[in-house]
Structure 1
Amino acid sequence: MWSIGELAEQAGVTVKTVRFYSDRGLLPEAARSSGGHRRYGPDAFERLRLIRSLRTLDLPVPEVGRVLDHGDGLTDALEDAIDGQLRELGSQLTALRWREAALQLVRDCPPEERGDRLRLVGAVSAPPSTVPLARFWRGALPVRLSPRLVSSILDYAVPQPPSDPTPAQVLAFARMYAIATAPCPATDPRRSAGNRTDKVHRPDVLYDGLFDAYMLAAADVKTNRAPKRGQALDCFVAAHAESRGLRDSQEFRRRLSGLLTLAADQMVDRYWELTGELSGAPEPTLGRAQEWLRAALDTDVAAAAG
């Protein structure tokens, strides 16, 4: 049986350290002397060494306690604790990389742009949250759209910020964030997206058809081919027509061209441009596909009229 001083000496720590772990239940005493002093058994030394090793990994004291309490399940509990610490450390490293890239962005920009960039990056947390971006798109989508399609659209429209961004990616995300959190004026088409009166009775039919059209147009968009008639445009128009209970016709295409021109939102178009800048992915965004199909429709309508 060791006294608290003897255990501390054997372990190479202070008496204060042993008392700290004892008071928190991590290092139970085996007995008390007649004078009320703590006494520790032979297993206390190894337990204290384990506690110190776990703390060296920067595990919080409560987490150390949970690992020790598992007994035979020590390995699984330790793996869970380490995984948790690695996730937290990864988040901290991502935050540091975002701050570093943001500082470089502000340092290297022209002096006349510094104030604007400070305002942009200062509004974004590090690591950045995508919650405002998701909220922006949920507000822009029809109320009656199925959860399945809402989830699919958000997967495309809300890109995950890179863990090691360049200054340009930080700027792109900050500008997307500014668009998503900007006040929405009464005249903004996003304000009434769920209650528009252009007779879209079946929004799921519309968005399922749009996804098909986007996929058909992807190759042409990716290679920067000029917008043209074809299967992608026919699918695009059919989605709009069927969702309204109408048939594809040249008259409908003319009307649809006008509706899409009126509904065009420069902020949303800019958001899609920034999405491409942020991801750096070779595949075109849904926004680019939508723009290509709108242009193809306008070309088709103009050709029919001429």
Structure 2
Amino acid sequence: MSTTTPPYDGRYGIGELAERAGVTVKTVRFYSDRGLLPETSRTTGGHRRYGPGALERLRLIRALRSLGLAVPEVRRVLDEQDRHGRPGGALEEAVAGHLSALGTQLTALRWRQAALRLVQECPPGERPGRLRLVGTVAAPPSTAPLARFWRGWLPPRMPAGSVAAFLEVAVPRPPDDPTPAQVLAFARLNALTSGPCPAGRRPQPAAHRTVGARGAALLYEGLAEAYELAGAPLRRGREPYAGEALDCFVAAYASAYGTRDTPGFRELLAGQLPADPRLDRYWELVAEVRTPPGGRPEPTPGAAHDWLLTALTAPAAA
């Protein structure tokens, strides 16, 4: 009795498809059962058959999965390809989302690595304290405590745009690839801004408590200009002196108060702007966080403020 082999009809059996794609039969069945790899028919014995395009579709599914896309994301990409003949916006959205997530994960790993080096490289007696300090900071760290600190310090009812502009300057962005020293500085910033105000000190300076919303906006617009002007002599290492930067500094407060720049006003202002060791420490730490290895620290608003305050209180400034 002779048998005849049925002619090849361009379709794959599940085993052949799995072999050609370099996957297991179980994998092919998994994608089929979830509708990602439709079968074209079944034999009389119930075996699955796949059309000529199944191999390329399966290879595309494997490629998408190898990039970390979840099954629902793969389905959206395939549906879009079925409609338009090629992947489009769904693939771009999925890839962008995964790149962003991976970037966050890599940054977190770099922060953990730097934190471990910080603990490893410090003297044994300091390790418990370092561990407690860095243990309070997430990886990658959040800047929320720093922003809350400044929101409580800034004048009340200050316009949202002015607040955002100030926070952009005052809150340092955590570096993506920090050194142990930068991790330590950021952890100290977090501890400094999360702690209560020192006994007897109010959250805001007296100069802030007398200006309204409009005055606050004028004040910080003028201060930003004054700090920028003070940056040039700070970079050159010049001692504080009366000049354009100081005039701009005083004018910012005069505009906020609705008054004129006079010797009497300067004397009054000097009394309302005492040095604040807590803020001085804050800006020192900001400089450490922002300075790359081997780099030169840029003047911070805090350094500019201290330089201008010294110029204001110097006898020649009057």
Q: TM-score, normalised by structure 1?
A: 0.89
TM-aligned CA distance change 1:24 to 1:194, over 3 Å: farther
Percent identity, aligned pairs only, is 60
Q: Which runs of 5+ in 2 are unaligned?
A: 1-10
- In structure 2, distance between residues paired with 1:300 and 1:241: 20
- In structure 1, distance between residues paired with 2:54 and 2:206: 66
Q: Does 1:212 align with 2:225?
A: yes
Q: Which runs of 5+ in 1 are unaligned?
A: none
Equivalent residue of 2:125, what SS? helix
Q: Tell me the residue number matched to 1:50.
A: 60
Residue in structure 2 matching 1:118, options 118, 131, 149 = 131
Q: Is the 8 A contact 2:155 2:211 kept in 1?
A: no
Shift of 1:137: 1.6
Higher Cα Rg, which structure:
2
Q: Is the 8 A contact 2:288 2:297 kept in 1?
A: no
Equivalent residue of 2:49, what SS? strand
**Can you list the C-alpha shifts for 1:205-240, whole angstroms capped at 9, x where unaligned?**
211111121122111122221111112112211221
Shift of 1:195: 10
- In structure 2, distance between residues paired with 1:290 and 1:90: 36
Q: Tell me the residue number matched to 1:148.
A: 161
Shift of 1:141: 1.3
Shift of 1:83: 3.1
Q: Tell me the residue number matched to 1:160.
A: 173
- In structure 1, distance between residues paired with 2:183 and 2:217: 34
Q: Tell me the residue number matched to 1:2.
A: 12
Within 5 Å, give how 1:71-110 maps onto structure 2.
71=81, 72-74=85-87, 76-110=89-123
Shift of 1:143: 2.3
- In structure 2, distance between residues paired with 1:128 and 1:60: 27
Q: Tell me the residue number matched to 1:21.
A: 31
Equivalent residue of 2:259, what SS? coil
Q: Is the 8 A contact 2:218 2:256 kept in 1?
A: yes
**Can you list the C-alpha shifts for 1:55-86, whole angstroms capped at 9, x where unaligned?**
22233222222222211341554344333332
Q: Does 1:274 align with 2:285?
A: yes
Shift of 1:37: 4.1
Q: Does 1:12 align with 2:18?
A: no
Q: Is the 8 A contact 1:143 1:195 kept in 2?
A: no
- In structure 1, distance between residues paired with 2:109 and 2:39: 42
Q: Does 1:298 align with 2:308?
A: no
- In structure 1, distance between residues paired with 2:164 and 2:192: 21
AA matched with 2:131? L
Residue in structure 2 matching 1:283, options 298, 304, 309 = 298
**Can you list the C-alpha shifts for 1:168-221, whole angstroms capped at 9, x where unaligned?**
11111111111222234674432x579954x22411121111112112211112
What is the aligned length?
299
Shift of 1:47: 0.8
Q: Tell me the residue number matched to 2:48.
A: 38
TM-aligned CA distance change 1:50 to 1:132, over 3 Å: same
Within 5 Å, give how 1:162-177 maps onto structure 2.
162-177=175-190
Root-mean-square deviation (CA, aligned residues, Å) is 2.3
Within 5 Å, give how 1:209-248 maps onto structure 2.
209-248=222-261
Q: Is the 8 A contact 1:30 1:40 kept in 2?
A: yes
- In structure 2, distance between residues paired with 1:145 and 1:34: 77
Equivalent residue of 1:42, what SS? coil
Equivalent residue of 2:30, what SS? helix
TM-aligned CA distance change 1:181 to 1:171, over 3 Å: same
Q: Is the 8 A contact 1:144 1:194 kept in 2?
A: no
Within 5 Å, give how 1:185-196 maps onto structure 2.
187-190=200-203
Equivalent residue of 1:70, what SS? helix
- In structure 1, distance between residues paired with 2:12 and 2:206: 73
